[in-house]
Structure formats: structure tokens, C-alpha cells
Amino acid sequence: MFNKQETIDRLTPHANKLVAHYEHKGVSFLPKDGDFENVVFFNKVKEVKIAWDCFYRFSGIACTHRDKGENSVEVIILTDESFMGAYMKGILDMHFFPKEKN
């Protein structure tokens, strides 16, 4: 049976690294937003709310793709670390720092 708390516990070290990265750049983090099950990243200008089911990977995202050029795409399995460090980081970078190379 699926256990949400086990999933959160497994992803917490990777989420903490992601949060620390953005806090260093002036983006704050709330682990829960009131009655809703969202995590929230925000600064003085912008805010991103991400549903727990997505942030803590309950939705089961297991892979993504990488464009290899020449009309070739490679499907990549996402580990918990790469899910936070690449997938979620990519979403947040696009929102908070769209012109920076992070």
C-alpha cells in the first residue's frame, strides 16, 4: 500500500537541498499553505504554489526526456535526487530566474 509519509521522508533530504539553493537566492519556502496541500516558493515579486502530490512525487513521475539534437530524444529515469535537483529545479528556475543559467 502507498504510504505518503514514507515518500515524504525519502524525498526530504533532496527537497532540503533544493530549498537551501533557493533560500540562498532570496526565495523563501513554506512547506504548507493553510488549508491547501501545496508547498510554496516565493520572493518579494513572485510566488509558485506546487501541489504536494507533484512536489513529493505522489503522482509517480518517473522519467523525463532530454533532447539530443538531430531529431533524437533520450528518455531518462528520474531518481529522487534528480527529480528534485533537475525536474523541480527546472520549474522553479524558469519561474524565478528565467534568463539565468543555474
Q: Output the average pLDDT for the chain.
A: 84
* pLDDT of res. 8: 86
pLDDT digits (tens, 9 = 90+) for 15-36: 999 999 999 999 999 998 877 7
Q: What is the residue extent of each domain of the chain?
A: 4-96
- State the pLDDT confidence band at 59, using cuts at 50, 70 and 90: low
The two most distant CA atoms of the chain are separated, in Å, by 47
Q: For residue 41, what are the contacts with CB-CB under 8 A and spacing of at least 6?
A: 22, 27, 28, 29, 47, 48, 50, 92, 96
* pLDDT of res. 73: 72
pTM of the model: 0.76
Name the more confident of 54 and 75. Answer: 54
